[in-house]
């Protein structure tokens, strides 16, 4: 097995496998699904027409909102035709900002937007919530852990980070992770 260099970007992961938060998140998600399925089953027996109408309306609203968001992000991406990670990286001072953090943030944001647009051209000035549609829960639950893993940065001691609670844009996200301490590389056994 090859030992990975600190400068090499690890492959992305949605959750850290085997961690308690990952297991608890899955358990909570499937518990919620089971409760909703039970409630829907009970209502459909008592009021089948009203249940069918409500489910149809909710699914239609969800599909419409998703399509609207996809169209908005595709239009935004079309105005940025030809932009890449190069322009994103040039918006930072590379002497004081780790290029690995820049790359990890850019690629993770692209991955989050993959269902709307392949290779979405992210800018440092992009507001995470308003322009990219990422809410605080997305950032806390999946984006931050994936960026930390990719960039080799720790998520401990975030409250002492000057950008804690102030991450509004993609560049703020880069500066936040640049301010986090590096995780010591783990030794791998050779077989």
Q: Within this chain, do residues 88 and 177 fall inside the same structural domain, yes or no?
A: yes
pLDDT for the residue 50: 83
For residue 149, pLDDT over 80 is answered with yes
Q: How many structural domains does the chain have?
A: 2
Vertex 15: Cα angle to 11 and 20 (nearest 5): 135
Instruction: Indicate whether 96 belongs to any domain.
Output: yes
Lowest mean pLDDT among 15-29, 66-80, 91-105, 151-165: 15-29
pLDDT for 57-73, tens place per residue?
Answer: 888 888 898 888 888 88
Instruction: Indicate whether 98 belongs to any domain.
Output: yes
3-class SS at 112? helix
Instruction: Give the end of a domain, one of 79, 98, 123.
Output: 79
Do 148 and 155 meet the contact criterion of CB atoms below 8 Å apart?
Answer: yes
Do 116 and 151 meet the contact criterion of CB atoms below 8 Å apart?
Answer: no
pLDDT for 110-144, tens place per residue?
Answer: 998 887 778 889 999 999 998 888 888 878 888 99
Report d(CA 188, CA 68) in Å as an integer: 46
**Residue 41 tokens, joined:** 């089953």
Report d(CA 136, CA 153) in Å as an integer: 20
Q: Within this chain, do residues 94 and 175 fall inside the same structural domain, yes or no?
A: yes
Instruction: Indicate whether 3 belongs to any domain.
Output: no
Percent above pLDDT 70 for the chain: 85
Q: Within this chain, do residues 94 and 43 fall inside the same structural domain, yes or no?
A: no
Which residue did the predictor score with more confidence, 83 or 19? 83
- Alpha carbon 45 to its chain's center: 39
Structural domain that includes position 42: 20-79
pLDDT for the residue 17: 46
Q: What confidence category does residue 44 fall into, taking pLDDT thresholds of 50, 70 and 90?
A: confident
Report d(CA 80, CA 132) in Å as an integer: 14
Backbone φ and ψ for 54, nearest 5 degrees, come out as: -65, -45
Stretch 158-182: mean pLDDT: 92
Give Rg (Cα) of the chain: 20
Q: Within this chain, do residues 63 and 132 fall inside the same structural domain, yes or no?
A: no
Instruction: Give the end of a domain, one of 48, 79, 110.
Output: 79
Instruction: Indicate whether 7 belongs to any domain.
Output: no
Instruction: Give the end of a domain, one of 61, 79, 97.
Output: 79
pLDDT for the residue 3: 47
For residue 18, pLDDT over 50 is answered with no
């Amino acid at each position: 097995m090859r030992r990975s260099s600190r400068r090499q970007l690890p492959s992305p992961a949605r959750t850290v496998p085997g961690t308690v938060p990952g297991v608890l998140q899955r358990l909570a998600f499937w518990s919620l699904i089971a409760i909703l399925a039970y409630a829907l089953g009970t209502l459909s027996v008592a009021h089948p027409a009203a249940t069918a109408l409500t489910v149809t309306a909710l699914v239609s609203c969800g599909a419409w909102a998703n399509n609207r968001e996809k169209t908005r992000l595709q239009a935004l991406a079309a105005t940025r035709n030809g932009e890449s990670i190069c322009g994103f990286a040039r918006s930072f001072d590379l002497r004081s900002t780790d290029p690995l953090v820049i790359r990890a943030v850019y690629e993770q944001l692209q991955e989050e937007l993959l269902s709307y647009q392949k290779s979405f051209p992210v800018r440092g000035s992009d507001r995470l919530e308003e322009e990219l549609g990422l809410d605080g829960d997305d950032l806390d639950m999946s984006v931050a852990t994936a960026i930390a893993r990719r960039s080799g940065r720790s998520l401990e001691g975030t409250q002492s980070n000057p950008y804690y609670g102030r991450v509004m844009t993609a560049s703020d996200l880069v500066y936040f992770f640049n301010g986090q301490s590096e995780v010591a590389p783990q030794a791998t056994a050779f077989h």
